[in-house]
Amino acid sequence: MGKEIPARNEDYSLWYNELVKKADLAEHSEVRGCMVIKPYGYSIWEKMQQALDKMFKDTGHSNAYFPLFVPKSLFEAEEKNAEGFAKECAIVTHYRLKTDPEHKGKLMVDPEAKLEEELVVRPTSEAIIWNTYKKWIQSYRDLPILVNQWANVVRWEMRTRLFLRTAEFLWQEGHTAHATADEAVRETVQMLDVYAEFAESFMAMPVIKGRKTDSERFPGAVDTYCIEAMMQDGKALQAGTSHFLGQNFAKAFNVKFTSKEGKLEDVWGTSWGVSTRLMGALIMAHSDDDGLVLPPKLAPIHVVIVPIFKSDEELKKITEKVDQISAALRKQGYAVKFDNRDTHKPGFKFAEWELKGVPVRLAIGPRDLENGTVEVARRDTKEKQVMKLDEVSAAVPRLLDDIQQSIYQRALGYRNEHITKVETYDELKKVLDEKGGFVSAHWDGTPETEAAIKEETKATIRCIPLDVKEEAGKCVYSGKPSNKRVLFARAY
Amino acid sequence: MGKEIPARNEDYSLWYNELVKKADLAEHSEVRGCMVIKPYGYSIWEKMQQALDKMFKDTGHSNAYFPLFVPKSLFEAEEKNAEGFAKECAIVTHYRLKTDPEHKGKLMVDPEAKLEEELVVRPTSEAIIWNTYKKWIQSYRDLPILVNQWANVVRWEMRTRLFLRTAEFLWQEGHTAHATADEAVRETVQMLDVYAEFAESFMAMPVIKGRKTDSERFPGAVDTYCIEAMMQDGKALQAGTSHFLGQNFAKAFNVKFTSKEGKLEDVWGTSWGVSTRLMGALIMAHSDDDGLVLPPKLAPIHVVIVPIFKSDEELKKITEKVDQISAALRKQGYAVKFDNRDTHKPGFKFAEWELKGVPVRLAIGPRDLENGTVEVARRDTKEKQVMKLDEVSAAVPRLLDDIQQSIYQRALGYRNEHITKVETYDELKKVLDEKGGFVSAHWDGTPETEAAIKEETKATIRCIPLDVKEEAGKCVYSGKPSNKRVLFARAY
Ligand SMILES: [Zn+2]
Ligand SMILES: [Zn+2]
């Protein structure tokens, strides 16, 4: 069939790449580092977008759209942000092509159409947005501004992987402006909670909420919060970030407001984002050697129905039953696919829909017609059961709920087993090499120790968990005193 | 209040610009020709997207995403398409900035990070997509491919206007691939019908379906179909196009398939798109000197409720009634805004919501409470009526339907009055100068005559209507024989 993918324990990385391609999620394009998101992959992303967009709107945010291009002079205004992204920016320098006099049928950049000021293709939009907010904000009455943007961004990456790291990716970026630091911090934490809720309830992916260390902070932020997930190979993946920007961008772009007390003050800001990277996380969190395992809440197809037939007559009778089941399920809001192709055998179809992660498969053959039954298979556990036809439309919704819970619980179990407390540096290295996962260890709080551990182990501090307990200890690396543990891991 | 806008008959162009800004739809950005779509404007665009996206999916299409950048060598492969867009392309030449040694705190393009091959920021995506379809298509079994993309595109325009002509704009572009010419033509016409249906049913904007002349055709297409709308100043606006691409892109990108008969053949293609330009059309089709008039089907807020009160006590009693009305309307799917600000007077609020085009306004004061009534005002005609409170939740939906129909009928009446048949060139010029609108005239079918008329009158042939009748006549310009009329107009 040409649809087999390698086993995870043979080559996890190859398993991932092949799965992404063979399940028709995405592929590489002719443009270095840029991917094509194929229809099936995009339909999962659309489900994510819909769920997130509703959560953003329910928390008072509106969508807007800001330019793709950032003039260099704006880009460089917030110095740390500019430094952070300068090395990976696509730059527009010209605005016209002309026919190449030396090569018939070819075009060349028109040297006379050079821009006076170069334009940076947005790697993130704080600069262009805060430059706009300057016009929108005069008084405390204009605050807060709660805006989100769905957009493409470009960060020139040298080593790319489908969904996980691409030169162009799709994301949403929230950018809010507030009258007080306190309100901005509350917004930052609220959006982190929204992300965690989305990851756990929709993606069925448990996450740890935490704070980044200084060295891992978003360039230009005062504080970066993140959610960290654990993949099946023991590597961590940062699934979303929410930044408290302090007054950094307000100062850089001169965004001030008159307070209730009549004083002119700098505005406080936040920004927060998740991207198509979540697709990579979703795939790696649940899928198995047979293909995708999708949580029902994000599955483009909830139920696939495969008829087992030898004659047109049989297919016709099966179709009548299938139409009833489909109608009953669709009425309840489920997406049902009836795979009645006569060009492929049932076994091929089973494998194909397993590869694509459809949560529930129904199979109906002539004997089922006689007995008034249907075979119901769940994708996550591969369990099958035979059910009465007239029970299906009530049973499938319960089964889908069960699958959603079940894959969450399985991922949670795996994640919890892969948080290991260590007391020494040797233990830390041993766990990273042999078991993987998060390693909970004392750290002395210095960037030097953090850098040394990263250099020696390739593990980074994923976060300082928000729920961390005060606990006296000694840094595993330096032996200096520490009052709390942080989470180390190798990461995507 | 600072919210007044000029009258249409004083300065239509200024009326439009001021309306777009004062109704918080969009504004100019710091980036030449690029706009910021503000939250209220974007929420109307979202409504458009949702309706169109559903129509695309109902006709069998899926969304996908292709790269923002097109390598120059792909861009130039389809020669006519390349020629057509070469003069208005943003070009990425470098992928890194570095600190400018001569100017502290500034960045400069790193000359060592020059791309080997320049990247064109997509002005349209046929090139990158057909280069991808080459990988997706081998056999007739892989056809048709029915894909749509929601994306931003860039066409470097020298004279820009908010929504109508901007360097960056948002749009959708459908790109389909077919085994036969006949099927591709049917798709082209189907999508034109979808656009016409959307324009008329959702935007309440009548359109004429037609074919473009050779000189107005999309670069690289065999045939371009369009829908043309009439604005209140007598100028036409092209609201959507659907292109039959023939085998042009298949040949340029070598996209072949094995037919049922086992022959290797070139694939047939279509592309079709509408953009944020529709926002400009929507605004200009219906709005008046007091602001926006929105068709209820695209209005982000259907009903605004303004309380008339002098004391907190009064507001409290009004709020109780309002909560009941709001709940009853929201239950039916309508978006209701209760404007209970105590910082502004009712008259200010009335003007503000008129400016923003909310279709229905309810006002409730103390006397209404006594009488169990509410004042209901419709935005389009400004008519007011007093209604029993308990009738409101049933009456408002009917009123909204009526408004949707009514503004369509008004626009249709205006449009129909502005199609003028002429027999001579003098008449054509006179109608264009004095009455405006579409001018239905005989044309000899030559690009020379078309160009001469355009040069002399600034009017273009908007389309050859699909429902045009065969009719013997003489070209108004050359006197040569003609067998059908075409529609001329000055246009946006
Ligand atoms: Zn790869
Ligand atoms: Zn302007």
How many beta carbons lie within 10 A of that of residue A398, not counting itself?
9
Same domain, A385 and A359: yes
Same domain, A67 and A106: yes
Same domain, A343 and A439: no
CB A268 within 8 A of CB A179: yes
Answer whether A97 sits within 8 Å of B109, measured CB to CB: no
The whole-number pLDDT of residue B105 equals 86
Residues of A in contact with B343 (CB under 8 A): 141
Q: Count up the domains in chain B and report the number.
A: 3
Same domain, A221 and A140: yes
Final residue in a domain of this structure, among B399, B427, B451: B399
The whole-number pLDDT of residue B3 equals 67
What's the complex ipTM? 0.97
Q: Which long-range contacts (CB under 8 A, 24 or more apart) does A412-418 make?
A: A412/A206, A414/A230, A414/A232, A415/A206, A415/A229, A415/A230, A418/A230, A418/A234
pLDDT < 50 regions, chain B: 1
What proportion of chain A, given as a percentage, has pLDDT over 90?
98
User: Is residue A296 in a domain?
Assistant: no
DSSP lists the bridge partners of residue B274 as B172
CA–CA dist A55, A406 (Å, integer): 24
What are the start-end ranges of the H helices in A332-391? Answer: 346-355, 366-371
Cα B118 to averaged position of ligand 1 atoms, centre (Å)? 22
Nearest Cα to A343, choosing from B142, B337, B293?
B142
pLDDT band at A158 (very low <50, low <70, confident <90, very high): confident
The whole-number pLDDT of residue A433 equals 97
CATH of the domain at A359: 3.40.50.800
User: Is residue A355 in a domain?
Assistant: yes
Same domain, A336 and A223: no
The whole-number pLDDT of residue A1 equals 45
Nearest Cα to B245, choosing from B267, B263, B215?
B267
User: Which helix or strand (DSSP H or E) is residue B196 part of?
Assistant: helix B181-201
Residues of A in contact with B122 (CB under 8 A): none
Is the pLDDT at A463 greater than 90? The verdict is yes
CA–CA dist B298, B292 (Å, integer): 12
Which residues, 6 or more positions from A76, have their beta carbon under 8 angstroms from its beta carbon? A82, B105, B106, B107
Same domain, B274 and B317: no
CA–CA dist A70, A123 (Å, integer): 9
User: Is residue A292 in a domain?
Assistant: no
Cβ under 8 Å to B: A residues 167-206: 168, 170
Same domain, B112 and B230: yes
Q: Please compute the mean of the pLDDT values over residues A391-397 and round it to a whole number.
A: 96
Same domain, A105 and A194: yes
User: Is residue A105 in a domain?
Assistant: yes
CATH of the domain at B261: 3.30.930.10
Q: Measure in Å the smallest separation between the Cα of A426 and chain B Cα atoms.
A: 40
Q: Dihedral, CA atoms, B481, B486, B487, B489, nearest 10 degrees?
A: -50
User: Is residue A294 in a domain?
Assistant: no
User: Is residue B412 in a domain?
Assistant: no
Distances (CA, A) of A342 to A2, A349, B143, B489: 19, 11, 17, 54
Structure tokens at A400: 């889908």
Same domain, A125 and A265: yes
User: Is residue B409 in a domain?
Assistant: no
pLDDT in tens, B55-104: 999 999 999 999 999 999 999 999 999 999 999 999 999 999 999 999 98
Nearest Cα to A401, choosing from A338, A333, A327?
A333
**B18 and chain A in contact, CB less than 8 A:** no
CB A230 within 8 A of CB A203: no
CA–CA dist B453, A425 (Å, integer): 83
Cα A51 to averaged position of ligand 1 atoms, centre (Å)? 29
Residues of B in contact with A91 (CB under 8 A): 92-97, 109
Cα B464 to averaged position of ligand 1 atoms, centre (Å)? 48
Cβ under 8 Å to A: B residues 282-321: none
CATH of the domain at B450: 3.30.110.30
pLDDT in tens, A303-341: 999 999 999 999 999 999 999 999 999 999 999 999 999
**B335 and chain A in contact, CB less than 8 A:** no
Q: Is B484 left (phi over 0), alpha (psi -120 to 50) or beta?
A: beta
Same domain, A331 and A382: yes
CA–CA dist A432, B240 (Å, integer): 57
User: Is residue B145 in a domain?
Assistant: yes
Per the structure, the complete domain to which residue B444 belongs is given by 419-489
Cα B166 to averaged position of ligand 2 atoms, centre (Å)? 10
Cα A344 to averaged position of ligand 1 atoms, centre (Å)? 30
Structure tokens at B44: 């109307």
pLDDT in tens, B275-322: 999 999 999 999 999 999 999 999 999 999 999 999 999 999 999 999
Nearest Cα to A175, choosing from A48, A62, A55?
A62
Which residue in A31, A39, A42 is closest to B119 by CB distance?
Answer: A31
Picking from B89, B128, B130, B155 by the largest number of A CB atoms within 10 A of its own CB, the best residue to mutate is B89
Which residues, 6 or more positions from B447, have their beta carbon under 8 angstroms from its beta carbon? B213, B214, B215
| CA B194 to chain centroid | 13
Backbone angles phi, psi at B211, to 5 degrees: -110, 145
The whole-number pLDDT of residue A159 equals 85
Q: Measure in Å the smallest separation between the Cα of A185 and chain B Cα atoms.
A: 23
Same domain, B224 and B81: yes
Final residue in a domain of this structure, among A255, A286, A317: A286
pLDDT in tens, B329-338: 999 999 999 9
Minimum CA–CA partner of B46 in chain A: A63
Same domain, B91 and B205: yes
**A329 and chain B in contact, CB less than 8 A:** no
Q: Measure in Å the smallest separation between the Cα of A191 and chain B Cα atoms.
A: 19
User: Please, is A88 exposed, middle or buried when counting C-beta atoms within 10 Å of its C-beta (0-12, 13-18, 19+)?
Assistant: middle
User: Which helix or strand (DSSP H or E) is residue B304 part of?
Assistant: strand B303-307
The whole-number pLDDT of residue A2 equals 55
